[in-house]
Amino acid sequence: MEIFGIWIAAFLTLCIYSFLYKDNPFYRFAEHLFVGMSVGYGIVLSVHQGFIPFAWEPFWAAVKPFWPGVPREAGWSGLWKLIPIGVGLLFFSGVSPRHTWLIRYPTAILIGFGAGLSIPNVLRANIFEQTRGTVEPFASVHAGTLSGWGIFEAVLMVAGVICTLTYFFFSVEHRGPLKWISKVGIAFLMIGFGSAFGNTVMGRVALLIQRVDFLINDWIGTIF
């Protein structure tokens, strides 16, 4: 059975790579199969790991005591769980043009909750901490504990931040010194993009290497 699985995986891998030569029915078959299976798998996962434990089970637990023939032991205490479920269901009001306005309530709760949760934390982690990290080395410069290379790094960091921010400062026309500062900012941005591109290539090559390793060692290994 395992060998059967390896052969299917190898066949589909070759189907996908056949696109590198040109578009063909084998590629389209594998592509459609992949999309269909991913969507199907995603739906099953969402139902089993999201809908059932977090919507259906709390709902059933809440209404079960009121079901005919079920002893009313739990009472009313579980009913509060119907409130978030009901608010969530309002998202579906969009399907009826007459009731579409109801969608504003869950949207407002979601945005309010999200903004309240993220604004202070994001400000702290991405603005304050990063600003501290940029200027903090200068405390070591002042204390005389930073090496020559460390001082160069600290100055370069601040210069990079100022030049890059200047490039995105559109309230004043970029002329004279501002033009040159923003040009240096572009250079810093290009270095950043180059680094990101290089790392992306490394990531994509890793996928190819894994597939080639699978084809040579696992698949061809079952033949010889």
Tell which one of 24, 46, 100, 145 touches other proteins (CB under 8 A). Answer: 46
Beta-carbon-side half-sphere exposure of residue 36 (alpha carbons within 13 Å): 6
Kindly report the CA angle at 197 between 167 and 128, in degrees rounded to 5? Answer: 50
- Measured over the CA atoms of residue 187, residue 193, residue 199 and residue 205, the dihedral's sign is negative
DSSP string, 130-160: HHHHHHTHHHHHHHT-S-HHHHHHHHHHHHH
Decide: helix, strand or coil at residue 69: coil
- Residues within window 166-195 making contact with other proteins, judged by CB under 8 A: 192, 195
| Least distance CB 182 / other proteins (angstroms) | 21
Asked if residue 90 lies in contact with residue 105, where contact means CB atoms within 8 angstroms, the answer is yes
* x/- map, 116-145, other proteins, by CB under 8 A: -xx--xx-xxx--xx-xx------------
Judged by CB under 8 A, does residue 40 bind other proteins? no
- As measured in angstroms, the least distance from the Cβ of 53 to other proteins is 9
- Interface residue with other proteins among 20, 95, 172, 223 (CB under 8 A) is 20
Interface contacts to other proteins, rule CB under 8 A: 20-21, 41-42, 45-46, 49-50, 54, 117-118, 121-122, 124-126, 129-130, 132-133, 157, 192, 195-196, 199-210, 212-213, 216-217
